[in-house]
């Protein structure tokens, strides 16, 4: 480390800026399918480790109080610290969520992903539900996640749900409202890496209420095509969609 401290501040600045540039380049490469997103994550790790070294050296140099190099050192610290904070926050965030990527409001009989099965490619997760073990992890992490019960007819709920899904900017893969249960399948693509998550909405008739009026039950399943942990994205998406459907009643 002592030898590295002899590196001029201006060189540290350019090294820090080059390391910072790795992140958007890695994201763009994955987004454009130039290489697998795992290669981008590997570049993130390399850039983060190298950036941490540059950050430490820059801070040590700043502690000497050399005003001539202060501007270059401040740039070095900012360029290395910002991505480290972002990556660190995501690592901490991951600990707050169950290590799963398939969420459903009905874990006993989850809605099936039919169109998504044919739309997925080699390397993507299977659409098969993983059973009791997955259900237990979900219940522990999202105990409040449940189906939505409405008093509107299934036809109205279907039309409303489809309109909301289109309005959210999701790509509709399939829709069926000829025979109950009605279903809508869609794909939500993330902005940065272009990760695809499949969503299926199932709308079916429930037993009549005490007053004799039939009820409609809405179940939603959201599943990531890749990755082990979704950082709570699928559960958040389901909750927001159910709120949107209920609010539009």
Asked if 175 and 184 touch (Cβ cutoff 8 Å), the reply is yes
CA distance 219 to 204: 9
The confidence score (pLDDT) of residue 4 equals 54
84/168 same-domain check: no
Last residue in a domain, options 60, 94, 128:
94
| Cβ contact 183:160 at 8 Å | no
Q: How many CA atoms lie within 13 A of 119 on its CB side?
A: 18
Tell me, yes or no, whether 85 and 171 share the same domain.
Answer: no
**Would you state the pLDDT for residue 115?**
95
69 and 162 in one domain? no
3-state SS class at 102:
strand
Q: Concatenate the DSSP letters of all residues of 32-80 into one string.
A: TTSS-HHHHHHHHHHHHHHHHHHHHHHHHHHHTT-GGGHHHHHHHHHHH
Q: Residue 8 belongs to what domain range?
A: 4-94
- Together in a domain, 22 and 83: yes
Sequence-ordered list of residues with C-beta below 8 angstroms from that of 59, at least 6 positions apart, any chain: 77
We report the CATH number of the domain holding residue 112 as 3.30.310.80
Strand ranges in 43-163 using DSSP code E only, listed in sequence order? 102-104, 148-150
Residue 228: per-residue pLDDT: 86
Q: Which residue has the tokens 């990556």?
A: 87
Which segments in the chain show pLDDT lower than 70? Answer: 1-5, 66-68, 208-212
What is the C-alpha to C-alpha distance for residues 140 and 94, in angstroms, rounded to an integer? Answer: 15
Q: Same domain, yes or no, for 131 and 238?
A: yes
* 146 plus 231 within the same structural domain: yes
Say which DSSP state 26 is in. H
Euclidean distance between CA atoms 33 and 22, whole angstroms: 16
Is the same domain home to 18 and 74?
Answer: yes
pLDDT at residue 93, rounded to an integer: 80
Query: Which of 53, 74, 94 is the last residue in one of the domains?
Result: 94
Domain final residue pick, 49, 72, 94: 94
> Strands 102-104, 182-189: parallel, antiparallel or unpaired by DSSP?
unpaired
- pLDDT at res. 143: 95
Eight-state DSSP code of residue 126: P
Res 237: pLDDT:
97
How far is 115 from 173, CA to CA, in rounded Å? 6
Do 44 and 135 fall within a single domain?
no
Rg (CA), the chain: 24
In this structure, are 68 and 123 located in the same domain?
no
Helices (H), 95-131: 115-119
Give 103-121 pLDDT, tens digit per residue.
Answer: 999 999 999 999 999 999 8
Do 193 and 218 lie in one domain? The reply is yes
Q: How many residues does the chain have?
A: 249
Same domain, 47 and 89: yes
Question: How many folded domains does the chain comprise?
Answer: 2
* Residue 112 DSSP class: P
Residues 77 and 56: their CA atoms lie apart, in Å, by 8
Specify whether 44 is located in the same domain as 148: no
């Amino acid at each position: 480390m002592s030898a590295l401290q002899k590196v001029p501040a201006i060189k540290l600045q350019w090294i820090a800026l080059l390391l910072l540039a790795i992140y958007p380049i890695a994201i763009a490469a994955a987004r454009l399918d130039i290489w697998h997103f795992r290669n981008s994550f590997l570049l993130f790790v390399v850039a983060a480790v190298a950036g941490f070294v540059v950050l430490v050296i820059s801070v040590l140099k700043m502690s000497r109080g050399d005003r001539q190099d202060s501007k270059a050192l401040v740039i070095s610290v900012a360029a290395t610290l910002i991505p480290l904070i972002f990556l660190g926050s995501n690592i901490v965030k991951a600990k707050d969520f169950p290590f799963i990527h398939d969420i459903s409001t009905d874990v006993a009989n989850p809605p099936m992903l039919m169109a998504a099965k044919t739309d997925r490619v080699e390397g993507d997760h299977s659409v098969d539900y993983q059973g009791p073990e997955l259900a237990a992890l979900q219940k522990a992490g999202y105990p409040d996640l449940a189906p939505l019960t409405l008093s509107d007819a299934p036809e109205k709920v279907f039309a409303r749900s489809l309109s909301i899904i289109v309005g959210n900017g999701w790509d509709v893969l399939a829709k069926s409202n000829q025979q109950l249960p009605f279903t809508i399948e869609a794909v939500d693509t993330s902005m940065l890496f272009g990760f695809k998550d499949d969503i299926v909405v199932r709308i079916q008739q429930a037993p009549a209420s005490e007053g004799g009026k039939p009820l409609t039950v809405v179940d939603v399943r959201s599943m990531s095509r890749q990755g082990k942990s979704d950082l709570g994205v699928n559960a958040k998406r389901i909750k927001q969609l159910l709120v949107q459907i209920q609010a539009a009643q």
